[in-house]
Structure 1
Amino acid sequence: MSRGRRLALAALAALACGGCGEVDEIVIAISTDLAVPKDFDVLQVQVFEGNQGKFNRPYRRLGGSDAEAQLPATLGFFSSDAGGESIRIKVAARNKDDVGPVRILREVVTTIPKDRVALLTVSLDFLCDGSGQAAGSDVERALCDEGQTCVAGACVSSEIDSSTLPDYSSRDVFGGGDGECFDVTTCFADATPAEVDTAGCTIAGDGAALRNVALETAGDDGICDGDEGDEDRRCLVALNADSDSGFRVGDDGRIQLPPAVCEQMAQKKIAAVLTAPATSCVQKTAGLPTCGPWLASRSEEP
């Protein structure tokens, strides 16, 4: 059990399992495609049961030697009544401190599952930059309406049926359970810009060959391959394969990107879409975190 999860269970007394038989638990796995601490350095997690706050914790100094959390971060919440409690989860990326500016907000409304440990993946991604705003130590929606949350730059329902969630396994969070990570700058060192069909927001695939896809941001967001001020520096955001928040290969063989990619290209927030064959590097997936000083190498089962 990770240090972060022990803190969560100790603080969430109303949902703590007191002498339960079967485990009724949901594990939240929090990740990002940005670079920490350059892009944000505070992770805030809040959990509500009804209108009552059950857990509120900022994790500061991300990416530093004294970081209060590493990424991916896992937090587990138990049931006190055989499962089924409805909870609302808010996860935010902030800067400077727990009342600092908010870059990204994800909200999920779900239930504690019964008789199992379920995995809920929550990703704080570049495409949802600007989705939250600070309200003192609280975080409010800045992009989506009530009942919605930002995923891949689009507002979708914040409700998730916990019965559809997979069982928790460290392999699905910590790089196959062995602490492996995806080196963005190395894996895209020889990447080439793709021609984007903006009508459907797709790019050409490569037949049966697997490919990796990244967004080159127009600013300095993402994982960069050089020092600040370098003329040829690129800052990249790697997309997850076979993911609603990343990319999928369609029946026609073309790679479907999130529509927000084309919208943000038109807004000059994204400079290019890059592709590289997944040969010397494996294909980037949600369960394979990016390498960096923020990386959590632990992979213990709960």
Structure 2
Amino acid sequence: MTRGRRYGLVWPAAIVALACGGCSAQDEIVIAISTDLALPKDFDVLQVQVFEGGARKFDQAYERLGEADPAARLPATIGFYSANGGGESIRIKISARVGDALGPVRILREAVTRIPKDRVALLTLPLDFLCDDSARSEETGDVVSTLCEEGQTCVAGACVSSQIDSSALPDYAPRDVYGGGLGDGSGDCFDVTECFAGGAPAAVDAETCSIAAERGATLNVALQTAAGDGICDDGEGDDRRCLVALDAGSDAGFRVEEDGRITLPPAVCGRMADRIAAVLTAPTTAACAQKTAGLPTCGPWSASGSKEP
């Protein structure tokens, strides 16, 4: 699943690789799934479900994430195409589970959109720390939200509309998902522990949920978690730091305002405040570019940055 698969929504279709990455006029939407957590420590099963008109069209669990023989590596891409010229409305549910395909659910991300016409569009649906504890699994295996109302989904710890206008989505290109690579281990990844080895705690203004930064400085920002969630360094005891790196220039990450202050997601100062020990900043370097949605984290689970040169 690292390089992508394509599935027809009207009748079963053969699974083929998305090696072309949108080079033909296919009516298709490609879902890119990423995470800021560490696998298999934080979760080890990815479930993808797609519904059309209330009917379940696709339901697959990818297990052993982060292990030596994973069913998928992240970021993962999976494509759904139309056999009727596009325009079908679909509901997508992406879940992070623990243990197996019926295990506890930590994170749920949903989207309702339409298959685009005459193009291959990219829809990014990350499974991120700030949306932890957002869903549960019922005895039937169905996943239901415990945080957001019907028609909403969790983004950066807040409930927003799950409706996505596919005409506003960018065209799919592998380099925009896999750190400039193809999903085969090529491309770059972001080494969280290395890039924040000298990171310093920042004072958070809880009223605006923002931190100060030197005007013009290019920084990376991470959340130091209080209970060991995220990517951890090799320290022991109180010296061990577990971090969640935020994406720059993103509503789900952080933004630099005109006055130079860095705005954080409101959940950092609200819903998830008791699970965050500190907010860290670190300057970018030649080895540590600014973390963005298109630059995945490094780790044994990663589909980027692991290919031998």
TM > 0.5 fold call: yes
2:152 corresponds, among 148, 153, 173, to 148
1:27 corresponds, among 22, 27, 30, to 30
The amino acid that maps onto 2:11 is A
1:97 maps to 100
Partner of 2:66, secondary structure, is coil
- CA-atom RMSD, angstroms? 1.9
- Stretches (4+) displaced over 6 A: none
The question of whether the paired residues in 2 share the 8 Å contact of 1:16 and 1:78 is answered with no
1:171 maps to 175
Cα distance in structure 1, aligned partners of 2:125 and 2:27: 19
Cα distance in structure 1, aligned partners of 2:246 and 2:147: 22
1:246 maps to 253
Cα distance in structure 2, aligned partners of 1:298 and 1:135: 37
The amino acid that maps onto 1:144 is C
Q: Is 1:279–2:285 an aligned residue pair?
A: yes
Q: Is 1:195–2:194 an aligned residue pair?
A: no
1:14, distance to aligned residue in structure 2 (A): 2.8
Deviations along 1:130-168, one digit per CA (max 9) or x if unpaired, are 111011322111100000000000000000000110000
2:131 maps to 128
Structure 1 or 2: more helix by fraction? 1
1:75, distance to aligned residue in structure 2 (A): 0.1
Unaligned runs of 5+ in 2: 15-23
1:230 maps to 237
Cα distance in structure 1, aligned partners of 2:272 and 2:147: 18
Partner of 1:185, secondary structure, is helix
* TM-score normalised by L of structure 1: 0.92
Taking structure 1 as reference, are residues 35 and 269 closer, same or farther at Cα in structure 2, changes over 3 Å only?
A: same
Higher alpha-carbon deviation: 38-47 or 133-142? 133-142
The amino acid that maps onto 2:221 is V
Cα distance in structure 2, aligned partners of 1:196 and 1:104: 26
The amino acid that maps onto 2:4 is R
1:207, distance to aligned residue in structure 2 (A): 1.2
Once the two structures are superposed, the pairs formed by residues 70-109 of structure 1 within 5 Å of their partners are 70-109=73-112
Q: Is 1:260–2:295 an aligned residue pair?
A: no
The question of whether the paired residues in 2 share the 8 Å contact of 1:43 and 1:91 is answered with yes
1:9 maps to 7
1:57 maps to 60
Cα distance in structure 2, aligned partners of 1:87 and 1:35: 30
The amino acid that maps onto 1:175 is G
Taking structure 1 as reference, are residues 97 and 107 closer, same or farther at Cα in structure 2, changes over 3 Å only?
A: same
